[in-house]
Amino acid sequence: MVCRKTPKQAPCGGLSPLNDCWRFLHLSYNHSRSPGELRKEAVHRRAGREPQTVNCERAVILESITDAFFALDEQWRCTYVNDAAAQILLKPRRELVGKHIWDLHPSFVGTELYHELRKAMVLKVSAHLEVRSDYTGYWYEYHVYSSPQGLAVFFRDITERKRAEKALRLSEERFGTAFHASPNPTCIATMDDGRIVDVNRVWTSLLGYDRDEVIGKTISELGILPGPEERRLVAERLLENTQPSELVVRTKSGQERIWLVSAAQVVLDGHDCILSQSLDVTKKRKTEEALKISEHRLSLIHDMANDLLFLVRVEPDEVYRVVTVSNSYLKTMGMKREEVIGKTPQQVLPEEHARYVTGKYREALSLKRTIRYAEFIETPDGIKICETTLTPVLDDTGNFFYLLGVIHDITEQERTAEALRLSEERFSKAFNCSPVLMTITRAEDGRFVDVNAAFSRVMGCTREETVGRTASELGLDAALENHPHWVEILAEQREVQAQEVKFKTWPGAERTGLVSTEIIDIGGEECLLNVIQDITEQRHLEREMVRLDRLDLIGEMAAGIAHEIRNPMTSARGFIQLLGEKEERPQHRCYFDLVIQELDRANAIISEYLSLAKNKTVDKQQLNLNKVIQALMPMIAADARKSDKDVNIQLAEVPDLLLDEKEIRQLILNLVRNGLEAMEAHGILTIRTALDDGAVVLQVEDQGPGIPDEFLNKLGTPFFTTKESGTGLGLAVCHSIAHRHNATVAPETGPNGTTFHVRFNIPPPD
């Protein structure tokens, strides 16, 4: 049960004084007289106006009032219940009178009504409250009055009033919610003077005001609309028209906006007001004006445009209707204007093509931006490849008016592009598959744009590591940089052909190449196409051929004249030896010995010189290189100890080779002695053998200062030496021996020493 107190008011029926009524009710209860009997007695005694008669009349009044009424004595017994109360309490009056009220309705115990009745009984005060019955769900209004005899309770059903109040409250809440949540500017103003009663947030936002600035002000005072008289006329026009009216309103900053306004008359707190709701159509009107101008311009260029122009109106249910087309469109399509204007794509184009373009129309509308797409258009002159630009035209609410299309014939352009693509594809294949090194660099800063696979393989850096960087940043020198004198040649001839340069790879190896450079255009930017033919091996072979030719020449000379020189020397040596043995010249013996030593040294040089002979006979047998080295170790160790140096032997298992033992011994000793002579005391000479990619490799490594770069190309040249007492034939003899054994000799030098690699190729099995 829900109770609600109400303001105090006089009870219905004007019952007074209560004490007389209570005495009457008490009397009727004690004598168990029915209300009907009381009414009869009241009529019978009316003439005398005795107190009993007055009480009967008051009982008649209690029965005739519309309010329900019951009386309680101080013991909470019902002393009187009228018919209206009995109907509400759902029991006959005889079951109620004389009964304890809380026995009749125990559910009332503990409720607010219970407490208010007890308070009125004890304190002798009145009470007024509203109660909702949990049992019936009805609302009742109670007026409780106290007297010395007990309580008099008037109550009535106010359920309908409560429902009406709730409906009114909900209606007002819904109105307030709709008012303030409306996406359109909404305002309530008084009818007589136009003072603003309320506005929603959108209204203040669009006009630039705060809500507190406008409440209580008139539209005219704010300058939103013209003066009072004009405002009154505007209000009348709005109320008379069923369709919205366009008004020019002014914002707080003075900017004029176009609003589409509709209004209705409402009553608010007893005052006539006007409720207006607006739609800002400023952008729409400007768009429409711009569209008119655009259509005018479009009509002017119809006769001049080479591209095909068309304008499509967007209608409900995805209907697209042609509004206008250019003359070039009609000429290209071979159509008359009446065959196109007012038609849909389905009525003008083949079915599949119409389905394709309407899909593009939907795409442009959904994206709300210009799109481009390619399409094939069938014309009387054949199928054209076209690029269509489609631009949606929107109003200020985001709705579409038109789609403007421009069709550009790109048939020849596509054919040219296809030919260019094929050309570039062929160039790409030639570029990437070429065995020569090829690069493309920007002329402005020398940064790599592209490199081919051969370049990456030789230079030792991948394409990803190269592109976007310069040769200097990669540590690649010479050929890949723009030499100053090349700039002049390129400026005059736009190409440089076959310039021999030295360049270094990423690992640091130096190579030789022939570079050709040509200026090309890539995407509007000048670039250099560099073609590098690696001739390192070619130059090495050329030098080797020159060296071998020299050795052959020297060998032929040695074979031709060595015997002619040695025979006189042998005779001279014999006679000097005889003269030195004579006793008459003992004081000259030291001179004779010196001459003999020099003749022996000259004979040794000639013997070594003869080793260079191309046609020297060799006796090759199956030998193991390790065994030859081990046989020489005592001699090598003795030479090392004389100069306070050490020898380290690292021999790997290697197969037997066809070798001339004497010549291989000479080759090893020459390399070992050169290494020992190149080192300071306490240096270590290392002799290794190894298998490497189908070859047996002999390595002689010293810890000397290395060989200067300017001497490297001269090594092995007869009579070239850096030693004070050398003949320059040691390495030349080594090269000759290696050549006769189908082997190669290659030095590897640095500041920490030099290593000579002698590579013996293993012959294939029979």
Look at residue 666 and tell me whether its pLDDT is greater than 60: yes
Check residues 478 and 347 and name the one with the higher pLDDT. 347
C-alpha to C-alpha distance for 695 and 759, rounded to whole angstroms? 6
Pairing mode, if any, of strands 743-750 and 2-5? unpaired
Question: Helix crossing, 589-610 with 536-581: angle to 10°?
Answer: 150
Is 81 buried (19+), middle (13-18) or exposed (0-12) by CB count in 10 A? buried
Residue 91: per-residue pLDDT: 83
Q: What percent of the chain has pLDDT over 70?
A: 73
13 to each of 66, 132, 448, how far by Cα in Å?
9, 23, 110
Look at residue 34 and tell me whether its pLDDT is greater than 60: no
Residue 100 DSSP label = B
**For 707-750, how does the pLDDT look when each residue is reduced to its tens digit (9 = 90+)?**
887 776 666 666 556 665 555 566 777 887 888 888 888 888 88
How many CB atoms sit inside 10 A of residue 54's CB? 16
What is the pLDDT averaged over residues 580-601?
70
Residue 688: per-residue pLDDT: 93
Residue 701: per-residue pLDDT: 93
Report residue 13's pLDDT band, with 50, 70 and 90 as the boundaries.
very low
Average pLDDT, the chain: 77
Residue 68 near residue 133 (C-beta atoms within 8 A): no
Q: Output the CA angle 553-556-558, nearest 5 degrees.
A: 105
C-alpha to C-alpha distance for 742 and 739, rounded to whole angstroms? 5
C-alpha to C-alpha distance for 320 and 313, rounded to whole angstroms? 6
Check residues 680 and 544 and name the one with the higher pLDDT. 680
* Token pair in block for residue 601: 């040294």
Q: What percent of the chain has pLDDT over 90?
A: 9
Look at residue 240 and tell me whether its pLDDT is greater than 80: no
CA atoms within 13 A on the CB side of 699: 20
Look at residue 343 and tell me whether its pLDDT is greater than 70: yes
* Token pair in block for residue 517: 């450079």
Q: What is the CA radius of gyration of the chain?
A: 62
3-state SS, residue 503: strand
Which secondary-structure segment (H or E) carries 84?
helix 83-89
**For 492-515, how does the pLDDT look when each residue is reduced to its tens digit (9 = 90+)?**
667 777 777 777 776 667 777 778
**For 550-565, how does the pLDDT look when each residue is reduced to its tens digit (9 = 90+)?**
656 566 566 556 556 6
What is the pLDDT averaged over residues 638-661?
89
Residue 652: per-residue pLDDT: 92
Report residue 359's pLDDT band, with 50, 70 and 90 as the boundaries.
very high
How many CB atoms sit inside 10 A of residue 515's CB? 22
Residue 22: per-residue pLDDT: 44
* Token pair in block for residue 658: 């066809």
Look at residue 628 and tell me whether its pLDDT is greater than 60: yes
Q: What is the 3-state secondary structure (H, E, C) of 113-157?
A: HHHHHHHHHHHCCCEEEEEECCCCCCEEEEEEEEECCEEEEEEEE
What is the pLDDT averaged over residues 138-154?
88
**For 415-436, how does the pLDDT look when each residue is reduced to its tens digit (9 = 90+)?**
777 777 777 777 777 777 778 8
Among 223-237, 528-542, 660-674, top mean pLDDT goes to 660-674
Largest CA-CA distance found in the chain, in angstroms, rounded? 212
C-alpha to C-alpha distance for 282 and 411, rounded to whole angstroms? 43
Residue 572: per-residue pLDDT: 72
C-alpha to C-alpha distance for 607 and 613, rounded to whole angstroms? 10
Residue 190: per-residue pLDDT: 84
Residue 15: per-residue pLDDT: 38
Check residues 584 and 197 and name the one with the higher pLDDT. 197
Report residue 37 CA to chain centroid gap: 99
Report residue 468's pLDDT band, with 50, 70 and 90 as the boundaries.
confident
Which stretch of 382-386, 522-526, 672-676 has the lowest confidence by average pLDDT? 522-526
